[in-house]
Amino acid sequence: MKKLLAVIVMLLVTLSICSYGEAAVSNLQQGQSELGGNIDITSTSSTVKVGSYSSTSTSSSTSLGFTYGYFLTDAVQLAGRIFATGTKSESTESTTTYYYLEGKYHFYEKGQDMIPYLGLGLGALGIKSGDTSGSGSSYSFMGGFKYFISENTSVNTELNISSNKYTLSGVDITAATTRLWAGFSLYF
């Protein structure tokens, strides 16, 4: 919870600094590319099923990610995102790497400085926990804002909710994950 509060405070401070004086206007357009980096705070609820046995657990972690997107129109973007999450407990360390293809619709009019968007993502994941590894699939729903601090630069925030299914050491695991992203993007 403290990490979430720290990220929210950092985001609000950044937005308030960026909004001092005249607002920058966005210049999104068809054919433009976006390169971004982001960090998040994650909350995951997992269910493990083996035969008739079922167990549920909740954990939190942070991850680091990178995005490359291409605007098919002024409002529609196709993007690829890769990010990794690491979790360390007393008994084991695990790393999960996600690969997503995302479609986003930006509610955009020329000259806006803050642009809301909604999107969907389909992905694959690879997990390594101790000496075992596994893979699976994921899909997500997202919504967020891009706040332009210059014509070709924005700070971003996104709420991302995903459903993940994977197999680790022959055990089927289903996880629901909620992520709060904070990031920075360059447009060219």
Handedness of CA 128, 129, 134, 139 (dihedral sign): negative
Q: Which CATH architecture best describes the domain 2-187?
A: Beta Barrel (2.40)
Under DSSP, the state recorded for 75 is S
Dump pLDDT digits (tens) for 95-140.
889 999 999 999 988 778 899 999 999 999 998 887 888 899 999 9
Give the closest residue to 138 by CA, choosing from 97, 187, 170. Answer: 97
pLDDT of residue 102: 96
Instruction: Label residue 31 left, alpha or beta by phi (over 0 means left) and psi (-120 to 50 means alpha).
Output: left
pLDDT of residue 82: 93
CB 81 within 8 A of CB 102: yes
- Give the integer Cα–Cα distance in Å for 120 and 109: 21
pLDDT of residue 28: 79
Domain borders along the chain are 2-187
Residue ranges in the chain whose pLDDT is less than 70: 1-27, 88-91
**With 0-12 CB in 10 A as exposed, 13-18 as middle and 19+ as buried, what is 104?**
buried
Please provide the size of the chain in residues.
188
Tokens of 142: 């997202």
pLDDT of residue 21: 45
